[in-house]
Structure formats: C-alpha cells, structure tokens
Amino acid sequence: MSSRWNPCPRIRRYGRCRVASSAHTTAPTRKTPCDGRAKRRWTSCSASWIADVGCVVVTGAAGGIGQALVRGFVQAGSDVIAVDRVERPADLATDQYISCDLARTVRDPAHAGEIFAKVRAALGARPLDALINNAAIQILGSIESLDRDAWRDSLEVNLLAPFIWTQALLPELEASRGSVLNISSIHARLTKPGFVAYATSKAALSGMTRAMAVELGSRVRVNAIEPAAIDTPMLRAGFSGNAEGFSALESHHPVGQVGSAEGLASLAVAIVREGSGFLSGSLVGLDGAIAARLHDPV
C-alpha cells in the first residue's frame, strides 16, 4: 500500500444508546459504474496493485461512521448500497438505501431472505466487491445488571448479523473476488468496567474475522478495523457540557486527539482497495497509540 496514505488521525466510539453505527490519495474522484470484477491497475506511487472498487454494501450507514464510510467509498468511485434501520438521512452520499433491522435478519430467516433479495435487486447485474459490516450497538452495564435481552441484542447485531450477511452474500463476493471488512473495536483487546457485553461481542467479531479469512482463503478476503475513540456526534453528545472531559479523553491518546470518522473511512477504502490479494485476516488497529500505552501509578 502506498506510503502516501493520509492517516487523518481521528477515531470512533459509540455512545450508551442502542444505535446502529459506526485511502488512498490516488483514489479516483469520478464515480464509475461497476460492470465487472474488481479491476486492478498499477499505480506509480505504490509498489503493489490497487483494485478499483465497484459496488459496496455498508451496514449502519446512517450513523456518523456509516455516513463517512458511504462518502469515502463514493469518493473512491464506488456505487454504494447503504443499509440501516432508520430513514435515509437527507445528506447521505448515495440514493441506494435499504431500510432494515439487522437483528431481525438474524432472528427471522424469511425476513432476511426478503432483505437479501432487495440487496440483489439493487445490485442488478453489477458485481458486489465489498461488504462493510459496520452496524453495531453498545449496551453498557455491570455484570450484575446485564440481562438476557442485553446479551442477545449485543450478540445479534455485533456478531451474528455480520456472519449472516457475509454468508448470504458470499456467492456475490466470491464471484468478484471481493472482500469483507468488519468494523470491530479496540474493546476487542482492551476494555474497561461496564463494557463486558460490548467487549465480548467485538472480541468475538475479531476472532470470526480471522477464522473466516482462514476458511475463505483466496476466495474472499476478510479483515477488520479495531478503532478507539472516534469523533462522532454521538461521542460529542456524551461529553455535552463537559469540555474538560473531552480534552482529557484526547490527551489519553499519545497522538493527543481522538480519531475522525473520515480517517476511519479512508483506512477502510485502502484496505478494500488493496489488490494484491495478500491482505487478509488482519485486525488493523486505529487507536492513536493508546493500545500501546502502559498506564500505571508511577
């Protein structure tokens, strides 16, 4: 991948409420139709192949990170099919929008079949080059307070939905030699009290990413991003009236700031566009070095 990649050093985090969430500098600015398998071209600024991305499905597309992912892939020349459970945001960068509850696609196979039929109808004859499993919920609570519903909801949206959607769209992804990108979390590796349901679901998602990459091999690449705090409206809302607390959060990251949804989207595009076929099974940290920092009382 090119050394000219713009890191855009800003990251993501969900708030307490149950909300469906959350480059390459040579990415094309002109949108092109996806009329075949992912095309590969040689770029002078890189020592590897960079694939031109065609059609991409993004779940959780209405949230701050989701909208940034849609913009990022559209700017990279992709046709994007956006999926979320709420009404389409007026400023979403794509008109191709499917409203659905991902948890219901896990619980109700008949409903899932209807939704996947809509996805295939939106694709038409075009290939599906990437599935971005971005939708997530973050349910916080102590070990004593978490109930069965909290666990079921966390696992259905954060773990089972990415599996069901990957499984359902695998024929299309394999036909295009495409890729799956799961948006996991730093909580898959490092967490704190109150996050047991969320952290467990994300650790399982990262584990599933590796297992799928091993099983699918060269058929479909599977990777994940594990971001730390991302500057989204939801994160800002959590610090409403607490500017000092937000500054403290930024200072805890060695780079001195939290991440941006745009930076995450740029990384997502770069991972999907890596065309050598060798980047698979990777859990890419996007955390401002906070995962490398040792906190102790001295």
Give the tokens for residue 193: 């009290």
Q: Using CA atoms, how far apart are residues 266 and 181, in angstroms rounded to an integer?
A: 13
184 closest CA partner among 124, 231, 224, 137: 224
Q: Using CA atoms, how far apart are residues 33 and 192, in angstroms rounded to an integer?
A: 45
Q: Which residues are catalytic?
A: 198
User: Each residue of 1-30: b (16+ CB within 10 Å) or e?
Assistant: bbeebeebbbbbbbbeeebbbbbbebbeee
